[in-house]
Amino acid sequence: MRQDEKERDFLTGIVKSPVVQRCCSFRFILILPLFLMIPTCSHKMDEPAKDEDDPCSNAIGNGNEIIPGPAGPGGGDFDQVFRSLEVDPVNPDVVYLGTERNGIVKTSDGGVTWHRQRQGMRHSASAYPEVWDIAVSPSNLRLVIAATADSPGPVAGDYPSSAACVYLSSDAGATWTRSNCGLTNSYALCVRFDLRNPSVLVLGIGAGKATFTALVGQPFDGALMHSTDGGINWNASAAPAGPDKNVFWILRTYGSGTTGFATFGLCLDDTSKNLGFLRSEDGGRNWTAFAPTLRKRMITAFDVSTDGRILRAVERDAFSVFQSSNSGSSWTTIAAPANGPIKMSPSNPNVVLFCSSEKVYRSTNGLQSRDLVLAAMGRVDDIEFAPSKPNVVYLATQGYHIYRSTDSGASWSHLVSLRAAGILN
């Protein structure tokens, strides 16, 4: 994962600089035969600008200027997809995928063709923010939200971090608008819609220190946030003490009545400060801790069954799976070559797919046994079952190789390499 250190050059074209235009007043001095326009600033050039007309920093900025993004991995980028693979809740042929620095791609025909969708997304001179997660509303399929990140840092101002955070689309990804009211750290890592109410969303913001020069080393708090108006405004959720020190990489939803949300709070500097497993059953407003025996573990992947009773979790480099069949009250450890994503079929929790680097394993009996079903062309970053047709599964790897299965993961077809096919050029 790379936290971009690129900055805008404030010393060139100073009068045209967005910082000067927003933060400075101008004096006109008559020096015959010319008028000179002198900018006078009330604060330092590297301080965030205060824009009374856009207090949430939701302006499009340079989002209408479409750029290709990086031509390949390098400089700290690895062509990761993080956890951004998302299958439409109704149509299994519609799939969204985020990239590390090239925006978002989408297919509407099951992976035969792919199109880039980045209109409205801010960017640096050469790259878009990292797209960590994408969610489609089950109640309004045209409503899509993306959690994006650069370095931890301010949402507003002329910083590398201010191109990132939350983007909303009301036209199935064709165009995007920023939606960050209530947020102070742009390091957005995961987002989910309520299963039955498109107005309710939950968002995970990751703690960390800024990596760009202007604010290098300055800490920015992690948080769990919720929205009750479709992601227009965000409010801090009530959680056990310590979310400001945690990152939240994964959000899962479950339940047939009230939607439940589950996440894992992880402190990358000191796992003793992990919040561990948390759940909310009131739309993300309040969170309670569970599974205390796993709290200090480096849990980097987990899944929850549709009814919320079965949980399976993977600890980094432990090569085993923690499993609970009573909503996290007790756990057993299963030896398995697991060190990556893990997913259960929404129609049958005994069908489990899990990974270790590029290898994909499948179990049909709740991990009592497993079979190696795929050696992918890169480390597997994400797997998603199609909610409406669980025999259809998609998989995406580092390097942007995308696979599809039509038999619940028993066999796979390589759909595309986004780089080799020229889709990201």
Is 14 part of any domain? yes
Is 365 part of any domain? no
Query: What is the rounded distance in angstroms from the CA atom of residue 359 to the CA atom of residue 378?
Result: 9
Boundaries of domain holding 206:
1-60+76-236
The tokens for 233 are 């405004």
Residue range 32-43: mean pLDDT, rounded: 34
Which burial class, exposed, middle or buried, applies to 12 when counting CB atoms under 10 A from its CB (0-12, 13-18, 19+)? exposed
Residue range 132-152: mean pLDDT, rounded: 97
Is 270 part of any domain? no
Is 302 part of any domain? no
Is 360 part of any domain? no
The pTM for the full model equals 0.88
Query: What is the rounded distance in angstroms from the CA atom of residue 342 to the CA atom of residue 340?
Result: 7
| Residue whose tokens read 């080799």 | 420
List Cβ neighbours of 51 (8 Å cut-off, separation of 6 or more). 22, 57, 59, 156
For residue 149, the cross-strand partners are 130
Query: What is the rounded distance in angstroms from the CA atom of residue 204 to the CA atom of residue 260?
Result: 15
CB atoms within 10 A of CB 166: 28
Question: Residue 37 above 50 pLDDT?
Answer: no
Render pLDDT for 186-207 as a digit per residue (tens, 0 to 9): 999 999 999 999 999 999 999 9
Is 300 part of any domain? no
CB atoms within 10 A of CB 268: 15
List Cβ neighbours of 7 (8 Å cut-off, separation of 6 or more). 159, 160, 212, 213, 214
Residue 121 binned pLDDT confidence (cut-offs 50, 70, 90): very high
Query: What is the rounded distance in angstroms from the CA atom of residue 366 to the CA atom of residue 404?
Result: 22
Question: Residue 380 above 50 pLDDT?
Answer: yes
Query: What is the rounded distance in angstroms from the CA atom of residue 249 to the CA atom of residue 255?
Result: 21
List Cβ neighbours of 420 (8 Å cut-off, separation of 6 or more). none
Question: Residue 47 above 90 pLDDT?
Answer: no
List Cβ neighbours of 335 (8 Å cut-off, separation of 6 or more). 319, 320
Least confident interval from 6-20, 175-189, 317-331: 6-20
* Residue 96 and residue 136 in contact, taking contact as beta carbons nearer than 8 Å: yes
pLDDT confidence of residue 166: 98
Name residue 50's amino acid: K
For residue 166, the cross-strand partners are 147
pLDDT confidence of residue 52: 57
The tokens for 51 are 């824009």
Query: What is the rounded distance in angstroms from the CA atom of residue 356 to the CA atom of residue 283?
Result: 33
pLDDT confidence of residue 48: 37
Question: Residue 416 above 70 pLDDT?
Answer: yes
Is 289 part of any domain? no
For residue 67, the cross-strand partners are none
Residue range 247-266: mean pLDDT, rounded: 95
Is 156 part of any domain? yes
DSSP assignment, residue 226?
Answer: E
Domain count of the chain? 1
Name residue 80's amino acid: Q
Query: What is the rounded distance in angstroms from the CA atom of residue 360 to the CA atom of residue 371?
Result: 8
* Residue 50 and residue 369 in contact, taking contact as beta carbons nearer than 8 Å: no
As a whole number, the mean pLDDT across the chain is: 89
* Residue 381 and residue 360 in contact, taking contact as beta carbons nearer than 8 Å: no
